[in-house]
């Protein structure tokens, strides 16, 4: 897929490129639930297809990220700092990188999903993707917020969206803790290596929401300045 020309990427502001990058990141994250559904169904073909989709979206996100870093002006005539934009970019990119790491592990290792884990696992994954979508919604509001001079009703609306993102992330923490306790209770019925990998995997799933929240919090600081 060809990249959007840089002139169009930046448009009225560097936020345009940041938004384009986040769309690629969300495309990547949106495949993660299918990845785990295929795992639970023990469907290797679907699993590999999902992995390939995630890797393709992650590559597109990387391409946009690299172009943005190279071409982002050193000085911006905007009420935001260049470093803030790059930090949000890094948080967004970490979402795609984490999705890729998850996909890689699930296709390289044959992970067992015990029956008690299935429903809470899929619930955790879905809620973490909700966090990514909420972060995306916030990013899409940046142009309008800029037009309002980072003030007015739009500012309050965006801050409430950031607060909602925080609430979603807290829910993912709770779901993750429940799954960790469930895994601990069932350790004796699983292979030791599988148990270790599941602890890592649960942390990575939670990282999807964590990075989404960090991007939102960085935007909160940008607005507050």
Confirm whether 20 is domain-assigned: yes
Q: What is the pLDDT of residue 1?
A: 42
Q: What is the pLDDT of residue 82?
A: 79
Confirm whether 3 is domain-assigned: no
Orientation of helix 32-40 relative to helix 82-108, angle to 10°: 20
Confirm whether 6 is domain-assigned: no
Q: What is the pLDDT of residue 79?
A: 62
Q: What is the pLDDT of residue 199?
A: 95
Q: What is the pLDDT of residue 223?
A: 76
**Regions of the chain where pLDDT drops below 70:** 1-13, 75-79, 147-152, 225
Q: What is the pLDDT of residue 75?
A: 64
How many domains does the chain divide into?
1
Using alpha carbons only, what angle is made at residue 112 by residues 111 and 114, rounded to the nearest 5 degrees?
150
Confirm whether 2 is domain-assigned: no
Q: What is the pLDDT of residue 91?
A: 97
Tell me the residue range of the domain where 191 lies: 11-224
DSSP code at position 74: S
C-alpha to C-alpha distance for 186 and 8, rounded to whole angstroms: 53
Confirm whether 134 is domain-assigned: yes
Q: What is the pLDDT of residue 186?
A: 94
Question: Domain containing 193 — which CATH number?
Answer: 1.20.58.220
- How far, in whole angstroms, is CA 223 from its chain's centroid? 21
pTM of the model: 0.90
Condensed to tens digits (0 to 9), the pLDDT of residues 14-72 reads: 788 899 999 999 999 999 999 999 999 999 999 999 999 999 999 999 999 998 888 77
Q: What is the pLDDT of residue 3?
A: 44
Q: What is the pLDDT of residue 147?
A: 66
Confirm whether 97 is domain-assigned: yes
Backbone dihedral angles phi then psi of residue 153, each to the nearest 5 degrees: -65, -35
């Amino acid at each position: 897929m060809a990249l959007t020309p840089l002139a169009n990427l930046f448009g009225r502001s560097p936020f345009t490129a940041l938004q384009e990058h986040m769309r690629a990141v969300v495309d990547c994250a949106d495949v993660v639930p299918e990845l785990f559904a295929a795992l639970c169904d023990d469907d290797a073909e679907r699993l590999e297809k999902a992995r390939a989709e995630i890797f393709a979206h992650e590559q597109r996100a990387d391409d946009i990220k690299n172009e943005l870093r190279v071409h982002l002006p050193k000085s911006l005539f905007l009420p935001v700092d260049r470093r803030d934009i790059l930090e949000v970019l890094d948080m967004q990119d970490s979402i795609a990188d984490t999705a890729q790491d998850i996909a890689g592990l699930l296709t390289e290792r044959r992970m067992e999903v015990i029956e008690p884990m299935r429903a809470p696992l899929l619930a955790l994954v879905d809620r973490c993707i909700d966090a990514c979508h909420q972060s995306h919604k916030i990013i899409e509001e940046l142009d309008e917020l800029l037009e309002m001079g980072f003030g007015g009703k739009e500012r309050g609306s965006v801050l409430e969206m950031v607060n909602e993102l925080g609430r979603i992330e807290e829910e993912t923490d709770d779901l993750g803790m429940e799954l960790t306790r469930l895994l601990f209770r069932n350790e004796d019925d699983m292979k030791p290596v599988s148990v270790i990998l599941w602890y890592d995997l649960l942390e990575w799933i939670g990282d999807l929401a964590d990075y989404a929240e960090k991007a939102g919090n960085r935007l909160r600081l940008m607005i507050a300045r």
